[in-house]
């Protein structure tokens, strides 16, 4: 059996502490009514200031004595749970990393399958176009031959007419018309055959690679920014107010520099100024 672990702290507010809390709550309203019209008034306000600081120090001491065991209990509880929580977070991150890697692998396979399918579709389309062009060229060649025969028949008709041979002229005219009709029919049949081939041509689609369903797990793509050259970014911000907010001023460092240089501070965009801070010591 595992050993039981406990974290506990008891907070007790005594009547004396409660009185201090009550008295302190009314001090602010009291001092807001003060007016200093003379040195005696200033001395009286200073006396109250010292009393207020003494009360604050005493009350803060009580607060620390009460809060300390609570903080220790919290710290101990944090130390007790954090190693296991950190291990679980690391395990979670590792599982997510594995699943993202698996999804990326499937995505890469899908993209490759799509690429191959599109490449095959292009190859088949080019083959079909080449075959159609060859069929059209063959039909046109046949049509030219038939039109040539029609022209010969027309020349024969004209000779027969000139010779006064009506029968031969009629036969030649019939041959010319037939050859013209055959030529048109050959071209029309070829175009119909090509059109039919294009309509029934197979459509190549990428075979989908189905990703296994992982209940509760999904991924999304987000865009982030990283600084690659701080100097370049600073120069760009000087000319572009829309990105100036990307540069954060280190006010603590600027105040340290002003404290060291005082009025001699000479940094473009910074100004050194004086600010009075009041201090009071309890004797």
Structure confidence by residue, pLDDT tens digits, 206-226: 556 566 677 888 888 888 888
Does residue 141 lie within any of the structural domains?
yes
pLDDT of res. 207: 58
155-195 pLDDT, tens per residue? 877 877 787 777 777 877 787 777 777 777 777 777 777 67
- Looking at the structure, tell me whether residues 155 and 251 fall in a common domain: no
Rounded to whole angstroms, the Cα distance separating 281 from 213 reads: 70
- Looking at the structure, tell me whether residues 118 and 249 fall in a common domain: no
- Looking at the structure, tell me whether residues 256 and 189 fall in a common domain: no
Rounded to whole angstroms, the Cα distance separating 40 from 33 reads: 16
Give the chain's domain count: 2
- Looking at the structure, tell me whether residues 135 and 241 fall in a common domain: no
Q: Percent helix, strand and coil across the chain, each rounded to 5? A: 75, 0, 25
Does residue 257 lie within any of the structural domains?
yes
Neighbours of 143 (CB within 10 A): 20
Does residue 216 lie within any of the structural domains?
no
pLDDT of res. 157: 74
pTM over 0.85, yes/no: no
Does residue 42 lie within any of the structural domains?
yes
Does residue 57 lie within any of the structural domains?
yes
- Number of Cα atoms under 13 Å in the Cβ half of residue 218: 3
- Looking at the structure, tell me whether residues 241 and 189 fall in a common domain: no
Does residue 87 lie within any of the structural domains?
yes
Does residue 96 lie within any of the structural domains?
yes
For residue 242, what are the domain limits? 236-264
pLDDT of res. 120: 85
For the record, the structure tokens of 68 come out as: 């300390």
Low-confidence ranges of the chain (pLDDT < 50): none
- Residue among 185, 181, 197, 177 nearest 139 (CA): 185
- Looking at the structure, tell me whether residues 147 and 260 fall in a common domain: no
Contact 13/67 with Cβ under 8 angstroms? no
Does residue 109 lie within any of the structural domains?
yes
- Residue among 203, 187, 207 nearest 195 (CA): 187
Contact 27/50 with Cβ under 8 angstroms? no
pLDDT of res. 211: 63
């Amino acid at each position: 059996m595992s050993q039981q672990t406990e974290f506990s702290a008891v907070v007790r507010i005594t009547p004396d502490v409660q009185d201090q809390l009550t008295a302190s709550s009314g001090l602010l309203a009291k001092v807001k009514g003060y007016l200093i019209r003379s040195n005696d008034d200033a001395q009286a306000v200073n006396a109250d200031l010292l009393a207020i600081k003494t009360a604050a120090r005493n009350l803060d001491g009580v607060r620390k004595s009460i809060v300390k065991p609570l903080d220790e209990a919290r710290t101990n509880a944090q130390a007790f749970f954090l190693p296991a929580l950190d291990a679980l977070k690391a395990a979670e991150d590792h599982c997510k990393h594995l699943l993202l890697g698996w999804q990326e692998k499937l995505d890469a396979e899908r993209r490759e399958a799509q690429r191959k399918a599109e490449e095959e579709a292009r190859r088949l389309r080019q083959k079909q176009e080449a075959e159609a062009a060859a069929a059209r060229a063959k039909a046109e060649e046949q049509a030219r031959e038939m039109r040539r025969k029609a022209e010969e028949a027309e020349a024969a008709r004209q000779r027969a007419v000139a010779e006064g041979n009506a029968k031969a002229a009629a036969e030649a005219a019939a041959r010319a018309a037939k050859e013209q009709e055959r030529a048109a029919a050959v071209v029309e049949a070829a175009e119909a055959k090509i059109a039919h081939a294009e309509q029934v041509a197979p459509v190549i689609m990428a075979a989908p690679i189905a990703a296994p369903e992982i209940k509760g797990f999904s991924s999304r793509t987000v865009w982030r920014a990283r600084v690659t050259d701080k100097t370049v970014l600073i120069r760009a911000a000087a000319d572009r107010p829309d990105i100036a907010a990307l540069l954060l001023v280190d006010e603590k460092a600027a105040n340290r520099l002003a404290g060291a240089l005082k009025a001699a501070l000479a940094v473009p965009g910074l100004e050194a100024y004086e600010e009075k801070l009041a201090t009071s010591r309890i004797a």
